[in-house]
Amino acid sequence: MINSEPKIKVALLQNYNEAHIALNGRFLLPDGRVIDGQFTVRADQWLVGLIDSSGKKILRQKEILLSATEGASFTVFDVKIGIDFHWQRNQEQSFRGNLFLSAGSDSSFNFINEITLEDYLESVISSEMSAAAPLEFLKAQAITARSWLVAMLLRKKINATAANDSQSTENEIIIWHDVNDHRGFDVCADDHCQRYQGITRIISKNVHTAVKDTRGFFLVYAGEICDARYYKSCGGQTEIFSTAWEDKSPDYLRSITDDVQQHPLIQSEAQAECWLTGRPHAYCDTTDKELLSKILPAFDQETPDFYRWQVIYKRQDLEEIIRKKSGINVGTLQNLIPLERGPSGRIYKLKIEGSQRTVIIGKELEIRRCLSESHLLSSAFVVSVERATTGEISRFILSGGGWGHGVGLCQIGAAVMASKGFKVEEILAHYFTGAQIKKLYNETPISKTKCIT
The answer to whether residue 164 scores a pLDDT higher than 60 is no
| 189 and 337 share one domain | no
Q: Which of 165, 200, 235 is the last residue of a domain?
A: 200
In a domain, 438, yes or no: no
Question: How far apart are alpha carbons 190 and 177 in whole angstroms?
Answer: 14
Domain membership flag for residue 34: yes
Question: Residue 124: what pLDDT?
Answer: 87
154 vs 438, more confident: 438
Residue 398 shares a structural domain with residue 279: yes
Identify the band that residue 27 occupies on the pLDDT scale cut at 50, 70 and 90. very high
The yes-or-no verdict on residue 443 having pLDDT over 80 is no
- Domain membership of residue 412 (yes or no) is no
User: Are residues 169 and 259 both part of a single domain?
Assistant: no
144 and 77 assigned to the same domain: yes
What domain range is 71 assigned to? 7-200
Q: 318 and 256 share a domain?
A: yes
pLDDT of the residue at 48? 96
pLDDT at 297: 75
Mean pLDDT of 114-141: 89
The mean per-residue pLDDT over the stretch 138-143 comes to 96
Query: Residue 168 in 3-state DSSP?
Result: coil
Domain count, the chain: 2
Could you tell me which residue, 84 or 241, shows the higher pLDDT?
241
Average pLDDT over residues 173-177: 87
Answer positive or negative: Cα dihedral of 366, 364, 235, 386: positive
Is residue 242 in a domain? no
Residues 126 and 266 occupy one common structural domain? no
The answer to whether residue 451 is domain-embedded is no
What local confidence, expressed as pLDDT, does residue 82 receive? 52
What's the pLDDT tens digit per position in 106-127?
899 999 999 999 999 988 888 7
Residues in contact with 201: Cβ distance below 8 Å, sequence separation at least 6, in sequence order: 123, 126, 127, 131, 297
Residues 302, 188, single domain; the answer is no
Do 281 and 173 belong to one domain?
Answer: no
CA distance 377 to 405: 9
Any domain includes 229: no
Q: Are residues 163 and 52 in the same domain?
A: yes
In a domain? residue 69: yes
Do 29 and 141 belong to one domain? yes
- Mean pLDDT (the chain) is 89
pLDDT range class, residue 298, cuts 50, 70, 90: confident
- pLDDT tens track for 192-221: 678 887 776 556 788 899 999 999 999 999
pLDDT value at 32 more than 80: yes
